[in-house]
Amino acid sequence: MTVRRFPVAGEWREGVGSFEVRSPFDGSVVAEVARPSTSDVEDAVARTAEGFARTRDLPAHVRADALAHVSARIGERAEDLAVSVAREGGKPLKWARVEVARAVSTFRWAAEEARRFGGDLLRLDTEESLGSRMGIVRRFPFGPVLAITPFNFPVNLVAHKVAPALAVGAPVVVKPATKTPLGALALAELVGETDFPAASISVVPVGNEAAEKLVTERRFRTISFTGSSAVGWHLKEIADPRTRFTLELGGNAGVIVHDDADLDHAAARVAIGGNYQAGQSCIAVQRVFVQDRVYDDLVARLVKEVESLKVGDPLDEDVDVGPLIDERALDKVATFVDEAVSSGAEVLTGGTRDDPFYRPTVLARTTPEMKVRREEIFGPVVTVEPYGTFEEALGLVNETAYGLQAGVFTRDVDRLALAHKELEVGGVIANDSSAFRADQMPYGGSKESGFGREGLRSAMEEMTEPRILVLSNVPL
């Protein structure tokens, strides 16, 4: 098997030794990837820092055309990329195709925003004492970006960091998850086909220890991290305090189903939202709260929908739920469920481990103290509990340290407006599950779920700073 090299500022290197990328489904070797040496990593940082002067001066049309090229090329290679995602991460092929299609959209949006992204014109003649003045506010990139990405979206979550960085003129070093590095390598190859300077992107598939050293590197002015809350907050703590962070962290998303909702629709969307990639998504449905008048009806529909999901080989066209990423993830899910059951929770369906799978599970009679309600399970497990009033349901959703997204099923606009106001989350999804995301929308969380926002324009703002030029004695 040919060893996959990694790019350092346009130079594809062999590193020192290699590591295997294995399928979580059957353990087969998907690829062998070169392992960067300490000097490779240092070169990536140094050349990225040196390249900033060139990338920030690229005209908008050059950036836009290059990003549009990457978008088109992802589309051309879509099936190969989807198969790669399914093999290296165990994501069912149907969802891998969706991820790759979203990456096409992500780079297309970046191309469009690169042409629009500018600034503001301010009237400063608002007080007599200010005279005839005008302010021009432009946004400038802070500097080189370090992007740390997780295993669960190996193409599109890399795209969500690389595309906005390049759109604003900031070079980027990507540290992908070593379990799923192939998407980042493929995107870097496509960026290399464009007029972006060679230093615009480097990919260093290194382990967590090396990643910690990268985070303390002062030549990075912005760090964009997606991953677990514990790791994200730790990295921010050890980084230089002047480094700007965007943290997209964990969640245990809540969903409300009120008595006026379309129950068939709600059950179907919750079933998919909690299981579509074995629950390994930070906005996967984990906690469902159902108005007590329709609780039994909704639960019956939900159990039926969950039991209809096909579990199996991620390359099977009909499979809905694939394997968990590794044995450690399986251990965690099994422990959470077993502890809940031993404390009184009821298994309505699933609740069994079948390596490399955990069967899609619905639990009832859970309590807030149980880990399945309190922590992020990151597996195919959904809890379902009744509530009385809508206001009570809002409180139940908020009874967690996390706050990424929530879903609310109701036909009442006033209730949706109240949920928008009261729920302590980054996004409220009306009449759909918490797992919905459009790539151009602001995306991020509050509380332990992090801070900052992704989504192309929002991410571009996170990677830049406003700078005002005040013009005096301007004819107005």
CATH number at residue 163: 3.40.605.10
Amino acid at 441: M
- Same-domain status, 232 and 266: no
pLDDT (tens place) for every residue of the chain, 476 residues total: 899 999 999 999 999 999 999 999 999 999 999 999 999 999 999 999 999 999 999 999 999 999 999 999 999 999 999 999 999 999 999 999 999 999 999 999 999 999 999 889 999 999 999 999 999 999 999 999 999 999 999 999 999 999 999 999 999 999 999 999 999 999 999 999 999 999 999 999 999 888 899 999 999 999 999 999 999 999 999 999 999 999 999 999 999 999 999 999 999 999 999 999 999 999 999 999 999 999 999 999 999 999 999 999 999 999 999 999 999 999 999 999 999 999 999 999 999 999 999 999 999 999 999 999 999 999 999 999 999 999 999 999 999 999 999 999 999 999 999 999 999 999 999 999 999 999 999 999 999 999 999 999 999 999 999 999 999 999 88
12: DSSP letter: E
Which pLDDT score, from 0 to 100, does residue 385 have?
A: 98
Give helix then strand counts, H and E, for the chain.
Answer: 15, 25
Number of folded domains that form the chain = 2
Residue 193 lies in a domain: yes
- Same-domain status, 228 and 137: yes
Question: Are the C-beta atoms of 21 and 31 separated by less than 8 Å?
Answer: yes
Task: Please tell me the distance from the alpha carbon of residue 106 to that of residue 164, in angstroms, as a whole number.
Answer: 9
- Same-domain status, 222 and 271: no
- Same-domain status, 141 and 30: yes
Which pLDDT score, from 0 to 100, does residue 476 have?
A: 81
- Same-domain status, 260 and 241: no
- Same-domain status, 230 and 284: no
Tokens standing for residue 236: 């921010």
- Same-domain status, 25 and 157: yes
Which pLDDT score, from 0 to 100, does residue 70 have?
A: 98
- Same-domain status, 392 and 257: yes
Task: Please tell me the distance from the alpha carbon of residue 183 to that of residue 154, in angstroms, as a whole number.
Answer: 5
- Same-domain status, 148 and 7: yes
Active site residues: 248, 282
Task: Please tell me the distance from the alpha carbon of residue 85 to that of residue 69, in angstroms, as a whole number.
Answer: 21
Residue 316 lies in a domain: yes
**Pairing of the two strands 446-447 and 402-403:** antiparallel
Residue 348 lies in a domain: yes
Residue range(s) defining the domain that contains residue 424: 253-439
- CATH at 311: 3.40.309.10
**Whether pTM exceeds 0.85:** yes
- Same-domain status, 241 and 275: no
Handedness of CA 216, 143, 100, 109 (dihedral sign): positive
Task: Please tell me the distance from the alpha carbon of residue 147 to that of residue 205, in angstroms, as a whole number.
Answer: 12
- Same-domain status, 46 and 160: yes
Rg (CA), the chain: 23
- Same-domain status, 291 and 310: yes
Which pLDDT score, from 0 to 100, does residue 155 have?
A: 98
Which pLDDT score, from 0 to 100, does residue 118 have?
A: 87
CB half-sphere exposure, 394, CA atoms < 13 A: 15
